[in-house]
Amino acid sequence: MTEGILNIVDFSDWEKLDIRVAQIKSVEDIEGADKLYKLSLDVGDLGERTICAGLKEYYSKDELKDKKIIYFVNLKPRKMRGVESQGMLLAASNGDHSKVILLTPESEIENGSRVS
């Protein structure tokens, strides 16, 4: 029944995740990075955050600008190509990663809204 599932987690682990709606305000190339964009996000009351996302082969800058996404807020920050990434966006991909689709709200909702 759990074959193919990475790890089984307790509900208390799920409660630790802070997942919110965010809006991409700007998209920039990162020098020397052929897959990564630097994204500036508006996360409502949480303010602006910066993340790096490996989306260049799937989305143009214009396709990403102003898009609402689902954002994992409290992932420990890490440096990617010299840029501190403060979380991660959520996306679905097929088995060979030839198709990647951003998870987005179904209808309009405020930036910073919690996802549960």
Residue 5 lies in a domain: no
d(CA 20, CA 73): 7
Q: What is the pLDDT of residue 1?
A: 60
pTM for this entry? 0.92
Total domains in the chain come to 1
Q: Does the residue 6 lie in any domain?
A: no
Residues in the chain: 116
30 three-class SS? coil
Does residue 37 fall inside a structural domain? yes
In a domain, 11, yes or no: no
**What residues make up the domain containing 85?**
19-102
Residue identified by tokens 């990564």 is: 36
Residue-by-residue pLDDT tens, the chain, 116 positions: 667 888 888 999 899 999 999 999 999 999 999 999 999 999 999 999 999 999 999 999 999 999 999 999 999 999 999 999 999 999 999 999 999 999 999 999 999 999 99
The verdict on residue 110 lying in a domain is no
Q: Which residue type does 31 have?
A: E
Bridge partners (DSSP) of residue 70 are 21
- Is 73 a domain residue? yes
pLDDT, residue 4, reads 80
Residue 32: give its domain's CATH number. Answer: 2.40.50.140
Question: Which residues are paired to 62 by β-bridges?
Answer: none
